[in-house]
Amino acid sequence: MLIERLELFIVLAREKHFGRAAEACGITQPTLSSAIKQLENALGVMLVRRGARFGGLTPEGELVLEWARRIVGDARAMQEELEASRHGLSGRLRIAVIPTALTAVSDLTTPFLLRHPHVGFSVFSCTSIEILSLVGSFEADIGITYLDNEPLGPVVSVPLYTERYHLVTATSAPIAEKGEVTWAEVGALPLCLLTADMQNRRIIDRHLSQAGAPARPALDSNSMIVLLSHVRSGKWASIMPGNLVGGLDFSPGILSIPIVEPTVSHTVGIIAANREPQTPQVAAFLAEARQMANQVR
């Protein structure tokens, strides 16, 4: 019962709303409220500030939340290891991925599925900040994000590939005749870019600014499909990583051009919560990633 109440408490802390948390857990709001109250009575502290609505966690609640995540994570790991010892790997891996790395996910999941056919995957597109939060709270098992640009905190990481940047434009654009372009030239074009909450956008903004051409995109979106549809119109250009360009099937009217002066790169890789032992699924996935990284090198 304690584990179940801690799980409910984690969801409430995430949703910050009793009604939404109850819906996410598939129970009624009174049942959720009763479970949280029972948890508070068992621990002898108040966890939630109550009023007309959810008022946040108390300091004791914040402390219990950290322990709850560890306890629930360890309980799940134990169950998964017992299941793996009896029947082999099974269950579902939750993978949170930055948008620019989505096309690389199949390079990992496909060979992993061949080795472990009873494991399924749920893949989510997230910002790098969301990925760190989801991995840290054990709401995602694996994250795929930048490793060398912004602080990661206490995680296990495996580098996968180096990201370099290309201008993506219509073949009809005058600049399409060039074999390579500079950041300064790119900054003068009508650009469509990812939104400012994406680390890829922060990287691009920095390099454009350093080239004396601060980013002033005419459009931004958190969807790569939206960006590509605008490039396809022939009126826009975008900046995308070379690995993403290689994984997309461009129409005949779109091409990519390497961006130089300077040629810059950033490392993308896998992260997981720094815990011992890892769940069998996560440990196996990290091993798959290390093998893939060694092959790339």
The whole-number pLDDT of residue 74 equals 76
What's the average model confidence in pLDDT over 23-40?
89
Here the tokens at position 161 are 């590939």
CATH number of the domain to which 238 belongs: 3.40.190.290
Is there a single domain that holds both residue 144 and residue 271?
A: yes
Which of 42, 61, 80 is the C-terminal boundary of a domain? 80
The whole-number pLDDT of residue 279 equals 84
3-state secondary structure of 76: helix
pLDDT tens-digit profile of 64-114? 888 888 888 777 777 776 776 666 788 889 999 999 999 899 999 999 999
Name the helix (H) or strand (E) containing 275. none
CA gap 281, 77 in Å, rounded = 9
pLDDT tens-digit profile of 208-250? 999 998 988 999 999 988 998 899 888 899 999 988 887 777 7
Is there a single domain that holds both residue 261 and residue 167?
A: yes
Query: Does 86 fall in a domain?
Result: no
Is there a single domain that holds both residue 261 and residue 286?
A: no
Beta-carbon contacts of 43 under 8 Å, excluding residues fewer than 6 positions away, are 60, 64
Query: Does 61 fall in a domain?
Result: yes
Would the pLDDT of 117 be above 80? yes
CATH number of the domain to which 9 belongs: 1.10.10.10
Q: Let me know: does 150 contact 199? Beta carbons within 8 Å.
A: yes
**β-pair type (155-170, 238-241):** antiparallel
Range of the domain at 194: 163-265
Which of 57, 80, 103 is the C-terminal boundary of a domain? 80
Is there a single domain that holds both residue 254 and residue 190?
A: yes
Rounded to two decimals, the pTM is 0.78
CA gap 18, 241 in Å, rounded = 41
Query: Cis bond leading into 117, ω under 30°?
Result: no
The whole-number pLDDT of residue 262 equals 86
Is there a single domain that holds both residue 96 and residue 75?
A: no
Backbone angles phi, psi at 258, to 5 degrees: -60, 140
